[in-house]
Structures are given as C-alpha cells and as structure tokens.
C-alpha cells in the first residue's frame, strides 16, 4: 500500500474513484479520455496520452491525449510509459510526461499508471469484443439478406446484372467501402466488371461499368486460383495494372467460389487514406463472398426449377388441347357435316358449311398453338408471333382476321434473315388481297399457311408461304425458301 501511495496515501481514494468512473462508462473514447486525465492528475503530470494499436496489433491506431504537449526530448525521470495489455495481449501504451515540481516520477507514480493502464486494457478489450460481435452479426445478417433477395427476386438469375448488383451493394455496405463491384471472367482470359455500387462521383461509376482487368494482371491469376487479394494501397500496388486503381486505397478482391469453381470476384474498395481492412474484416469479407457465390448458384438452380415447371405446365396444356379440345371440335364438325348433308334448304346447308369451315380453321390454329407451346417461351417474339401480328394488322383492311396455320417447326427451319423475308412477303400479299375482298358483299376469310414441311419439285425440303383469297378459291404461293 505504501508503494502504491508513493508517500502520501491521499491519492488512493482518487484512484478508486477514477476506476469506478471509468468502469461505468460504456463509451470507449470517453473512458480513455478519463484514464488519460486521471493519469495526469494522480501523477502530477502536465501531459498524458493513450496510444492504441490498430485492431490487428501491428500498426498505429487511435491516440488520445490530455494536457499540454511535452517537449520533444524529456529529461530523465520526467517521462513514464507503461504497456496497456490484458492476458498478454498488447493494446497500446499509457504515458505521462512533464512532472510538476523538481522531482521526477517515483515508484508510486509507476504503480498508479500501471493500474490505470490495466483498467484501460480491460476497457479496450471489452469494447473490441463487443464491436467484433456486432460486426460479425452484421455480416451474418447481410449474408442472409443477400440469399433471401436472390431467392425471392422474381426475375433474378445469377447471370443478370440485377442479382450481381445485390451482391455488390450489400458487400459495399457491410465493408463500409466506397465501391463494391462484381467481376466475371472475360473471354480474353481477364475479368470484366459487370455490376457496380459506389458512392464516388458518376464519372467513376461510368468508368467502372464494363471495365476490364487484363489477363496478365497478377490479381487475376490469384482470383482464378481461388485466392483472395488484399492491399492497403491499391493505387500504388504493383499487382494492379488497372487504371481504376488510382481511385482507391485499401482493397479486398475476393473470389466468388462455390464447389471448387470460381464464378467471379467481389471487389470492395475504400478511398485513398482511409483505414485499412482489419484481419477480422478480411475474414468476414471472404466468408461473405463464399456465401454470396452459393446464393447465386442456388438462385440459378431455383430459376431453373421454376422454368422447368413452366415447361411442364405448357406440355400439359398442349396435351389437353390436343387430346380434349381438338377431339371435341372434330366431333362437332362431323355432326355439323352430317347436318349439312341432311339439310333441305340450300341456305341452311351453306350456313352449316361455313360453320364447318370455321371449325376446321380453328382446329388448325389450335394445332399451331400446340406446336408453339411445345417449343417453349422465347426471350424475344418468335416468328410465329410476328406472323400472327401481321395477320392482326391486316384485319382492318380485310374486314376479318385472316386464318393462320403453321405446319411443322417453322422457327427451327428459318434463320433471322429468312424470317424477315417471309414477313415482308406476307405483308405484301395481305395488302394485295385487300381489293379483292373489299368488293365482296361481306368479308371473306383469308387463309395464310406457313408450311415448314413443304417439298420443292426437285425433292428438296423447303419452307413455303401460301395465301388463299378468298379462302379455298385462289391459293397463291407468295414465298418459298429451300432448306
């Protein structure tokens, strides 16, 4: 106790009060401010400082000072420094300088500073433990939100910018970075930025979009090998040969890897001069990238299952149309045909005959729809859809919608150029048919047939477009193309 008091024991109550005050403060900065203030007051120093190491313990961290700044060189005995550590882990140092009076710091002062340094170590350890727990929780929640977003987004696939932007945005937010970007392999062996989230000016965003990292970049080699790339100053890093690196300081380039396969990379970049990524942040970022890659794969498979369900449903509809609807229409047509033959009045027989023709045309259109269903949905309107649109466009001038029939796999037999030629020939034929039907007393059905099973006189297979005006009376081959 005498050693602690260093002479007058009056400083002991002050020390105890200081420890209670510091221990009750949950704000680390305020607690360290009070430790520096109490260290100066209890030892009679004009200056006190708490100098912390960074979270990894291998670089300078925060500096908290109290009192006037000491001279550059202190006389012997007027400067005292002790380590701030808990259970062998070093967090920094606590020092006092500029002893009031003629004497220097004694053993009592040393013990006082050591007690305060221990209290500082406990405060720092607790604060960093709680901060690390909150940080891990935040990254875990962020990873879960990315997975949820990718699996619930209605039109998201792992190859679309929307899904990749989710990963870039969430990664940037979790890492407290200025920019998050997703890179995908390019055909030249390098990598290409396909999604960007940044708080930097729009010019940087524009420069980043679709920017490429050449294949000779050492960073690309590491990513393709499934290894993360970390840099404290990306702009000055010799491994970076991308012009984009001039905008950034600390950087993490993390592989998006799932089942041993590297899908791409996630880049998280801070501004020049900002704090570097800690060991904990690097670990959490790597784990986030791995989980994001798994979520992308799961989302892709989820969309595949949904697409398969759509195809199966289309197959079921096609079977129902073929097995039920067409059979019933065919049976109805047979009944009407029997009624037409038995009809006594010519006008009745003519009306029933027209009804039979309508049923036959409807059956052909349903069969065309069945073929379209079996081919599956297309990302852009297919040839069948465009032919039907041409028929719809001609309805006002013809007085009735033309009947359209498709025979065989039309879209599989014609390329884009052939499709354009067929559509041009159809539009011209329908416009040419308008005068002949306008002179009639009432609209007459015009039939359009696109036959992908046609055969030329020399035996070669072909696609043939025919237009009948009016239906069944004059059939013109308006376009054909050998296969």
272-304: pLDDT as tens digits: 989 889 888 999 999 898 888 887 777 667 666
Q: How many CB atoms lie within 10 A of CB 303?
A: 21
E strands, 348-472, in order: 403-407, 447-455, 461-468
Q: What is the per-residue pLDDT across 83-137, written as a single tens digit (0 to 9) for each?
A: 988 888 888 999 988 876 656 788 888 888 888 888 888 888 888 888 888 888 8
Looking at per-residue confidence, does 253 or 158 come out higher?
A: 253
Backbone angles phi, psi at 253, to 5 degrees: -115, 110
Report, as an integer, the average pLDDT of 362-379.
62
Q: pLDDT category, 205, cuts 50, 70, 90?
A: confident
From the list 45, 39, 41, 15, the residue with the least C-alpha distance to 94 is: 39
Q: How many CB atoms lie within 10 A of CB 367?
A: 17
Note the pLDDT of residue 100: 66
pLDDT for 254 beyond 90: yes
E strands, 100-234, in order: 179-185, 191-198, 212-213, 229-231
Average pLDDT of every residue of the chain? 78
CA distance 147 to 149: 5
Report, as an integer, the average pLDDT of 39-49.
85
Among 70-79, 137-146, 204-213, 301-310, name the one with the lowest average pLDDT: 70-79
- Cβ neighbours of residue 351 under 8 Å, at least 6 residues apart? none
Q: How many CB atoms lie within 10 A of CB 152?
A: 10
CA distance 142 to 179: 16
Q: How much is the pTM?
A: 0.55
CA distance 464 to 253: 57
Looking at per-residue confidence, does 235 or 10 come out higher?
A: 235
Among 5-9, 109-113, 218-222, 458-462, name the one with the lowest average pLDDT: 5-9
Looking at per-residue confidence, does 26 or 461 come out higher?
A: 461
Length of the chain: 483
pLDDT for 268 beyond 90: yes
From the list 263, 257, 256, 234, the residue with the least C-alpha distance to 247 is: 234
Note the pLDDT of residue 292: 85
Backbone angles phi, psi at 476, to 5 degrees: -115, 130
E strands, 178-297, in order: 179-185, 191-198, 212-213, 229-231, 251-258, 261-269
Backbone angles phi, psi at 326, to 5 degrees: -65, -40
Q: What is the per-residue pLDDT across 326-346, written as a single tens digit (0 to 9) for each?
A: 777 777 777 777 777 777 777
Q: pLDDT category, 439, cuts 50, 70, 90?
A: very low
CA distance 222 to 378: 39
- 302-311: long-range contacts, CB 8 A cutoff, minimum separation 24: 302/151, 303/156, 303/157, 310/377, 311/376
pLDDT for 381 beyond 90: no
Q: How many CB atoms lie within 10 A of CB 344?
A: 6
Please say whether the beta carbons of 70 and 85 come within 8 A. Answer: no
- Cβ neighbours of residue 246 under 8 Å, at least 6 residues apart? 235
Note the pLDDT of residue 367: 67
First to last CA, the chain: 106
Note the pLDDT of residue 12: 60
Q: Kindly write down the DSSP assignment for every residue of 190-248, as one continuous string.
A: SEEEEEEEESS-HHHHHHHTT-EE-TT-HHHHHHHTT--EEES-GGG-TT---GGGGG-
From the list 224, 222, 261, 219, the residue with the least C-alpha distance to 239 is: 219
Note the pLDDT of residue 302: 62
CA distance 122 to 110: 18
């Amino acid at each position: 106790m005498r050693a602690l008091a260093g002479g007058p024991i009056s400083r002991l109550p002050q020390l105890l009060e200081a420890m209670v005050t510091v221990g009750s403060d949950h704000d680390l900065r305020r607690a360290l401010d009070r430790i520096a203030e109490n260290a100066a007051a209890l030892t009679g120093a004009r200056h006190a400082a708490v100098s912390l190491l960074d979270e990894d313990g291998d670089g300078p961290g925060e500096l908290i000072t109290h009192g006037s700044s000491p001279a550059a060189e202190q006389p012997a005995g007027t400067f005292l420094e002790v380590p701030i550590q808990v259970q062998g882990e070093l967090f920094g140092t606590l020092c006092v300088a500029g002893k009031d009076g003629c004497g220097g710091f004694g053993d009592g002062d040393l013990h006082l500073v050591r007690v305060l340094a221990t209290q500082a170590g406990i405060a720092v350890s607790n604060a960093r433990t709680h901060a690390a727990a909150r940080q891990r929780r935040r990254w875990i929640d962020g990873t879960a939100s990315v997975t949820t977003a990718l699996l619930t987004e209605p039109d998201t696939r792992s190859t679309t910018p929307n899904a990749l932007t989710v990963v870039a945005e969430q990664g940037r937010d979790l890492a407290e970075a200025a920019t998050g970007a997703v890179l995908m392999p390019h055909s030249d062996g390098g990598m290409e930025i396909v999604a960007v989230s940044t708080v930097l000016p729009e010019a940087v965003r524009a420069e980043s979009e679709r920017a490429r990292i050449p294949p000779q970049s050492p960073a690309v080699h590491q990513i393709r090998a499934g290894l993360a790339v970390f840099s404290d100053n990306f702009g000055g890093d010799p491994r970076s040969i991308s012009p984009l690196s001039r905008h950034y300081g600390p950087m993490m380039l993390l592989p998006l890897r799932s089942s041993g396969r590297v899908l791409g990379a996630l880049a998280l970049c801070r501004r020049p001069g900002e704090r570097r990524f800690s060991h904990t942040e690097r670990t959490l970022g790597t784990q986030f990238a791995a989980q994001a890659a798994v979520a992308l794969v799961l989302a892709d498979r989820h969309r595949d299952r949904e697409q398969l369900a759509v195809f199966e449903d289309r197959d079921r509809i096609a079977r129902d149309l073929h097995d039920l609807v067409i059979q019933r229409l065919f049976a109805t047509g047979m009944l009407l045909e029997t009624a037409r033959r038995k009809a006594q009045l010519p006008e009745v027989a003519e009306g029933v005959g027209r009804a039979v023709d309508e049923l036959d045309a409807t059956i052909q259109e349903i069969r065309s729809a069945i073929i379209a269903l079996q081919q599956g949905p297309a990302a852009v309107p297919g040839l069948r859809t465009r032919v039907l649109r041409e028929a719809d466009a001609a309805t006002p001038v013809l007085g009735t919608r033309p009947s359209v029939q498709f025979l065989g796999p039309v879209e599989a037999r014609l390329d884009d150029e052939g499709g354009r030629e067929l559509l041009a020939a159809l539009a011209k034929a329908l416009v040419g048919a308008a005068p002949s039907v306008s002179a009639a007393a009432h609209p007459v059905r015009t039939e359009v047939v696109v036959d992908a099973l046609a055969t030329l006189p020399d035996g070669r297979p072909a696609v043939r477009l025919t237009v009948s005006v009016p239906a069944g009376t004059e059939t013109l081959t308006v376009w054909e193309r050998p296969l």
